[in-house]
Structures are given as C-alpha cells and as structure tokens.
C-alpha cells in the first residue's frame, strides 16, 4: 500500500535576500501525514527566481551561500532579463545553480538529514516577498 500526501507552505521572505530554514516545517508535515512511514519527501518551489538547498545554517553557511551567489551572479546591469530591481536578471539564473527541487529520504516518519544539514529555501528576489514551497510525501 502506498501513501501520498501534499501541502503547500506559503512564506513571506520579505525584500531582502534570504535563506529560510524549512526543516521544522518538513518535520511537522511528516508528523501529520506520514507517522512511522518510510518513503521520500519531495520539495518544489514553483517560482522562476528561487531554489532549494541542503546546507548547514546558523554557523554562517547561509550567509556564505548568499555571498557566493553575489560573486557568481552579481546584481548589476549585465543581465539580458531587465525588469524589476537592478540586477534582477540574476534571480532568473539562480535556479540553474540552486535548483527549485529537492528530494530527501524519510525513515519511520522522519527526514534523514545529516547532523548539520537543513533544508532551505534560497530567495534572492527582492521583488517578490511571497513564496510557496510544495511538500510531497510518497511512501
């Protein structure tokens, strides 16, 4: 017998570049929809200017990621995509480097992350403060 459950998280990321930890929301979703089950948790961001990353947070790695993205994707006028705030074209390139999806294993209803890993929404788009993340459990 297979189990399928899905939910959409709606987040306000504001007008600053952010790395938002979703790990707790993922754990809550699994507690409610997949208690004790094994399977996969898939996350998907239906936006052209945001992505998902699994990384350490709280020790500076989240800020380091944003700094690295600034080096790789400067917020200046070099981009062909030119609507929105200056440098917004970089936000549309972001999902090629930080994909809009992630899949992690679930064992006994718990996401199987490493000790320091967190599931994070990466949003460099200052023009769109509202984001959605679809969580789907398949077990």
What H or E segment, with its residue span, contains residue 38?
none
pLDDT number for residue 137: 98
Give the residue from 114, 109, 70 showing the smallest Cα distance to 93: 70
In sequence order, what are the residues at sequence separation of 6 or more whose Cβ sits closer than 8 angstroms to the Cβ of residue 130? 10, 11, 12, 13
pLDDT number for residue 49: 95
pLDDT number for residue 124: 94
Classify 4-138 by CATH class. Answer: mainly beta
Strand blocks (E) in 1-139: 4-12, 18-21, 39-44, 50-55, 101-107, 110-111, 118-123, 130-138
Q: In angstroms, what is the C-alpha Rg of the chain? A: 16
pLDDT number for residue 81: 84
In total, the chain counts a number of residues equal to 139
Please state, in angstroms and rounded to a whole number, the distance separating the CA atoms of residues 33 and 122. 25
Q: What is the pLDDT tens value at each position of the chain, 139 positions in all?
A: 789 999 999 999 988 999 999 999 999 999 999 999 999 999 999 999 999 999 999 899 999 999 999 999 999 989 898 788 888 899 999 999 999 999 999 999 999 999 999 999 999 998 999 999 999 999 9
């Amino acid at each position: 017998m297979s189990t399928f459950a899905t939910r959409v998280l709606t987040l306000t990321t504001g007008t600053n570049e952010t790395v938002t930890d979703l790990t707790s929301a993922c754990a809550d979703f699994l507690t409610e929809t997949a208690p004790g089950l094994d399977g996969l948790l898939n996350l998907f961001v239906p936006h052209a200017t945001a992505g998902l990353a699994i990384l350490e947070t709280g020790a500076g790695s989240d800020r380091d990621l944003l700094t690295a993205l600034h080096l790789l994707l400067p917020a200046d006028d070099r981009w062909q995509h030119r609507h929105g705030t200056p440098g917004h074209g970089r936000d549309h390139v972001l999902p090629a480097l930080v994909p809009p999806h992630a899949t992690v294993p679930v064992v006994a209803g718990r996401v199987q992350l490493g000790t320091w890993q967190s599931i994070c929404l990466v949003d460099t788009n200052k023009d769109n403060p509202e984001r959605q993340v679809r969580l789907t459990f398949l077990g």
